[in-house]
């Protein structure tokens, strides 16, 4: 592959490829961290020496086993790798029971509702609630291996439901509460779910979400697969109950708080989670019990440098992998205190996150670039009005974070004292893969820094050689690791072809394009399909988007390619401004300004051929920009993609006309 961009402006701060600001951990951070560069150098050496022994050591140290395993990695069925396969354990036992002896009264969940009311749930109480509910599920005939769909608001009982399934060895599949009945029905059918757990209603940003009604529609489309629907009464909203429906409170009324965990093998599936669908039909990613939990717990401890008095807040919904690994499992296995938030960052106004950080004295805050960009657009000055001094560490996940958004997050939210861990990983990897380690690594805005210990991640060209510094290539994971996807639910063939294509010789191919700089830092450039080829120059969409976002007028940008007779591909940019959407002459003027700006920041080669403005960009329910859809729009193709998961379908027309 050729260099990503040859006409670089080295003065530029905007382009990710030439971002040269470096932020070593502050003295304040170093004074209180428990981890340092030496700890990690030692861990890396240990992993390089013997990968199997390295992970086996961690699995013995961090997890509580019913029956200890005798073998770590088993590669005989590659790429269907197994870890610790002859050991047995229970995930819920590891998240709850084992803390009861040492810290029963420590708060596990601070659950804040949409309306601002908060509930404090200790480890003892959470354990009892999980046992009660698990016994309820058992009374409905749920046994190990059964599939249970969870379609809940982002409340404590969503976590209770997941943990209760884990306690019984039932395989949960959480579906984000914003999905339509059609999407829900597809997942019920694919997973062949026996039970659906929902709430009569949910609230987001003051608006009711009719979860039960959606479940009724979905179950009606699901070939009579579902035997029971359990309904949590979120409030008194009148609800039509059918013969198969049972209230959560009725189900648990007669149960005891004693529910012995069902011991399962390390490889027993803990859950199936359908991917976001940014690039196509969602895949039913199947995760294991032990390997998955080890990845979630170990990465939580390393990346977030967990300390006993931390208040952790990951803003992801449990409908996404981030809400699995860094809400439902990792922090609980680590015995941490965490915030669970039902609402949205912009209700009642765009200071909600900052208010909550102040109120709950959050010390570690983990959110997504989409939230950061929208909060910059709606109130860049609001963080300063709150006491955010409890924060010591910030995190980002889900999409590349544009350097300018990073700088705002660092200075305005973090007060220049908190390292930012920009964590690259996927539903399929189960836990974080690339991230700076706070205290051990200087950060660079827009870079995910390095692989965590025990992971061998590489960037290869088409000949399978590691790319030279600043050359784009394909991100691959060379060796198996405990938390990796085990298969796609009922589709092992797609699993092999999607992630282990023959031309990559057995390596896991992530589908993302990336590069390393001279210091070895990793930079994610976008999805492999998103890298553009303009007149023989390979341009990462991320690079051009970040240049656009560096312009003070721009809130968000998405870049895609359109076939072009002369240049091969032409750059098309979809832009949302911080102010009003321009029209007529004002739009033409703005287009000229932005084209010149990109030309200056990156070089003439990257200048968009076409720029369109809209009030918002099309995003998946998890907040990711849907470039696949934008590509069709840029090409003027009819839209054939499933847009049912779009958060804001109305803006498609604006983009087409723009």
Residues in Cβ contact with 158 at an 8 Å cutoff, skipping those fewer than 6 apart:
150, 152, 174, 318, 328, 340
State the Cα–Cα distance between residues 334 and 43, nearest whole angstrom.
19
Structure tokens that stand for 34 in this block = 């428990």
The binder of ligand ATP chosen from 312, 353, 424, 613 (CB under 6 A): 424
**Residue 88 vs 183, nearer CB to ligand ATP:** 183
Q: Which is nearer to ligand ATP, 169 or 430 (CB)?
A: 430
* Binding-site string for ligand ATP from residue 612 to residue 651, where x marks contact by CB under 6 A and - marks none: ----------x-x---------------------------
* Binding-residue total with ligand ATP (CB under 6 A): 26
Between 368 and 407, how does the x/- string for binding to ligand ATP read (CB under 6 A)? Answer: ----------------------------xxxxx-------
Question: Which is closer to ligand ATP, CB of 146 or CB of 190?
Answer: 190
190/218 Cα distance (integer angstroms)? 13
Task: Decide: is 318 part of the binding site for ligand ATP (CB under 6 A).
Answer: no
Using CA atoms, how far apart are residues 237 and 494, in angstroms rounded to an integer?
43
Q: Residues 382, 524, 591, 594: which binds ligand ATP (CB under 6 A)?
A: 524
538 membership: H or E segment, kind and range: strand 537-539
* Smallest separation (angstroms) from ligand ATP to the CB of 567: 26
CA distance linking residue 208 with residue 228, whole number of Å: 24
SS3 253: helix
Local structure of 120: helix, strand or coil? strand
Distance CA 364, CA 312 (A): 5
Nearest CB to ligand ATP, comparing residues 595 and 624: 624
Least gap, CB of 570 to ligand ATP (angstroms): 23
Q: Considering beta carbons, is residue 385 or 490 the nearer one to ligand ATP?
A: 490
For residue 527, the minimal CB distance to ligand ATP (Å) is 6
- What residues are designated binding site for Mg(2+)? 549, 554
Hey, what are 152's tokens?
Answer: 């809940």
Q: Scan residues 320-359 and list those touching ligand ATP (CB under 6 A).
A: 320-321
Q: Binding site for CoA: residue ranges?
A: 204-207, 322, 535
Q: If binding is defined by CB under 6 A, does position 494 make contact with ligand ATP?
A: no
Q: Which is nearer to ligand ATP, 282 or 482 (CB)?
A: 282
**Nearest approach, Cβ of residue 320 and ligand ATP (Å):** 6
| CB nearer to ligand ATP: pick between 376 and 524 | 524
188-206: burial string, b at 16+ Cβ within 10 Å, e else: bebbebbbbbbbbbbbbee
Among 72-80, 253-261, 509-517, 552-560, the segment contacting ligand ATP (CB under 6 A): 509-517
Binds ligand ATP (CB under 6 A): choice among 427, 487, 614, 645: 427
Query: Burial of 482 by CB count in 10 Å (0-12 exposed, 13-18 middle, 19+ buried)?
Result: buried
Mind giving me the DSSP string for 431-455? S--EEPPTTTS-B-TT--BEEPTT-
| Closest CB to ligand ATP among residues 264, 472 | 472
Using DSSP, state whether 465 is helix, strand or coil.
coil
CB of 424 to ligand ATP, least distance (A): 4
Determine if residue 526 is left, alpha or beta; phi over 0 gives left, psi from -120 to 50 gives alpha, anything else beta: left
In degrees, rounded to 5, the angle at the alpha carbon of residue 336 between the alpha carbons of residues 334 and 338 is: 135
Q: Minimum distance from CB of 476 to ligand ATP (Å)?
A: 12
Assess contact for 586 and 561: CB atoms under 8 A: no
CA distances from 411 to 408, 418, 658 (A): 5, 9, 35
Annotated binding site: 204-207, 322, 398-400, 422-427, 512, 527, 535, 538, 549, 554
With CB under 6 A as the contact rule, the residue among 252, 363, 426, 483 that binds ligand ATP is 426
CA distances 423 to 329, 409, 446, Å, are: 17, 15, 10
Taking the C-alpha atoms of residue 378 and residue 358, their distance in angstroms, rounded to an integer, is: 19
Q: How far is the CB of 422 from ligand ATP (least distance, A)?
A: 5
Buried residues in 407-444 as b, exposed as e (16+ CB within 10 A): bbbbebbbeebbbbbbbbbbbbbbbbbbbbbbbbbebb
> Rule CB under 6 A: is residue 534 a binding residue for ligand ATP?
no
- Residue 522 CB, nearest distance to ligand ATP (Å)? 9
Residues 443-482 that bind ligand ATP (CB under 6 A): 448
The verdict on 594 binding ligand ATP (CB under 6 A) reads no
Q: Which is nearer to ligand ATP, 92 or 303 (CB)?
A: 303
- Work out which of 422, 543, 545, 569 binds ligand ATP, going by CB under 6 A: 422
Q: Are strands 364-367 and 337-341 parallel, antiparallel or unpaired?
A: unpaired
In the bound state with ligand ATP, the residue whose beta carbon lies nearer, of 300 and 597, is 300
Beta carbon of residue 366, minimum distance to ligand ATP (angstroms, whole number): 11
Q: Is 510 in the site for ligand ATP (CB under 6 A)?
A: yes
DSSP 18: G
Q: How far apart are CA 242 and CA 87, in angstroms?
A: 42
Stretch that binds ligand ATP, among 145-153, 418-426, 450-458, 588-596 (CB under 6 A): 418-426
Residue 14 vs 626, nearer CB to ligand ATP: 626
Give dist(CA 630, CA 545) in Å, integer: 14
| 79 cis-preceded (ω within 30 degrees of 0) | yes
Shortest spacing between CB 369 and ligand ATP, in angstroms: 8
Q: How far is the CB of 431 from ligand ATP (least distance, A)?
A: 12
What is the CA 580 to chain-centroid distance, rounded?
30
Residue 186 interacts with ligand ATP (CB under 6 A)? no
Q: At closest approach, how far in Å is the CB of 452 from ligand ATP?
A: 13
* CA dist., res. 46 & res. 246, Å (int): 52
Cα dihedral sign for 234, 235, 237, 243? positive
Q: Would you say 163 or 541 has its CB closer to ligand ATP?
A: 541
If you search the block for the tokens 């109120």, which residue do you land on? 359
CB-based contact 151:242 (threshold 8 Å):
no
**Residue nearer to ligand ATP on the CB measure, 496 or 527:** 527
- 230 in Cβ contact with 197 (< 8 Å): yes
Among positions 250-309, residues that touch ligand ATP (CB under 6 A) are 275-279, 282
Q: Is the separation of the CB atoms in 89 and 123 below 8 Å? A: no
For ligand ATP, the binding residues (CB under 6 A) are: 275-279, 282, 320-321, 396-400, 422-424, 426-427, 448, 510-512, 524, 527, 622, 624
């Amino acid at each position: 592959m050729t260099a990503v961009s040859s006409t670089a402006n080295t003065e530029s701060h905007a382009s990710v490829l030439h971002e040269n600001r470096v932020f070593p951990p502050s003295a304040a951070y170093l004074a209180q961290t428990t981890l340092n560069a030496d700890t990690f150098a030692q861990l890396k050496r240990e992993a390089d020496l013997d990968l199997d022994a390295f992970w086996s050591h961690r699995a013995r140290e961090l997890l509580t086993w019913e029956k200890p395993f005798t073998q770590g990695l088993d590669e005989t069925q590659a790429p269907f790798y197994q870890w610790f396969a002859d050991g047995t354990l229970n995930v819920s036992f590891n998240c709850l029971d084992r803390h009861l002896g040492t810290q029963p009264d420590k708060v596990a969940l601070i659950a804040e509702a949409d309306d601002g009311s908060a509930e404090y749930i200790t480890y003892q109480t959470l354990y009892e609630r999980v046992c009660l509910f698990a016994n309820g599920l058992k009374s409905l005939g749920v046994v190990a291996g059964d599939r249970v769909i969870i379609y809940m608001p982002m409340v404590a009982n969503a976590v209770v439901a997941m943990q209760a399934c884990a306690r019984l060895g039932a395989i949960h599949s959480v579906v984000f509460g914003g999905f339509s009945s059609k999407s829900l029905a597809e997942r019920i059918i694919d997973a062949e779910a026996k039970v659906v757990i929902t709430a009569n209603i949910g609230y987001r940003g003051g608006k009711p979400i009719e979860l039960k009604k959606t479940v009724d529609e979905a179950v009606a489309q699901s070939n009579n697969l579902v035997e029971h629907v359990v309904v949590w009464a979120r409030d008194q909203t009148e609800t039509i109950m059918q013969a198969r429906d049972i209230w959560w409170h009725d189900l648990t009324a007669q149960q005891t708080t004693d529910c012995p965990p069902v011991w399962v093998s390390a490889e027993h599936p803990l859950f199936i989670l359908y991917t976001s669908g940014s690039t196509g039909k969602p895949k039913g990613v199947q995760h294991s019990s032990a390997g998955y939990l080890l990845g979630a717990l170990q990465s939580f401890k390393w990346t977030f440098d967990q300390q006993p008095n931390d208040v952790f807040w990951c803003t992801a919904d449990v409908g996404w992998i981030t809400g699995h690994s860094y809400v439902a499992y990792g922090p609980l296995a680590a015995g941490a205190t965490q915030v669970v938030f039902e609402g949205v960052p912009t209700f009642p106004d765009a200071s909600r996150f900052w208010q909550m950080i102040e109120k709950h004295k959050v010390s570690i805050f983990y959110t997504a670039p989409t939230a950061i960009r929208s909060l910059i657009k709606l109130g860049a000055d609001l963080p300063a009005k709150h006491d955010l001094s409890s924060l010591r560490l910030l995190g980002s996940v889900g999409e590349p974070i544009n350097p300018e958004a990073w700088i705002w997050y660092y200075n305005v939210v973090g007060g220049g004292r908190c390292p930012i861990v920009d964590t690259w990983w996927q539903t399929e990897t189960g836990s974080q893969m690339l991230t700076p380690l706070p205290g051990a690594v200087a950060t660079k805005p827009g870079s995910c820094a390095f692989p965590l210990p025990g992971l061998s991640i590489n960037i290869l060209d088409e000949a399978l050689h590691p790319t030279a510094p600043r050359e784009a290539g394909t991100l691959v994971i060379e060796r198996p690791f405990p938390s990796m996807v085990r298969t796609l639910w009922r589709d092992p063939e797609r699993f092999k072809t999607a992630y282990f294509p023959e031309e990559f010789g057995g390596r896991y191919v992530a589908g993302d394009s990336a590069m390393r700089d001279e210091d070895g830092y990793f930079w994610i450039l976008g999805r492999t399909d998103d890298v553009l080829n303009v007149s023989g120059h390979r341009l990462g969409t991320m690079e051009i988007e970040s240049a656009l976002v560096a312009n003070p007028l721009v809130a968000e940008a998405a870049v895609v390619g359109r076939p072009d007779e002369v240049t091969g591909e032409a750059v098309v940019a979809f832009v949302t401004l911080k102010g009003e959407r321009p029209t007529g002459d004002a739009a033409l003027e703005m287009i000229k300004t932005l084209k010149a700006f990109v030309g200056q920041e990156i070089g003439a080669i990257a200048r968009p051929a076409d720029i369109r403005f809209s009030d918002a960009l099309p995003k998946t329910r998890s907040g990711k920009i849907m470039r696949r859809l934008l590509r069709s729009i840029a090409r003027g193709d009819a839209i054939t993609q499933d847009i049912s998961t779009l958060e804001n379908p109305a803006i498609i027309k604006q983009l087409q006309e723009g």
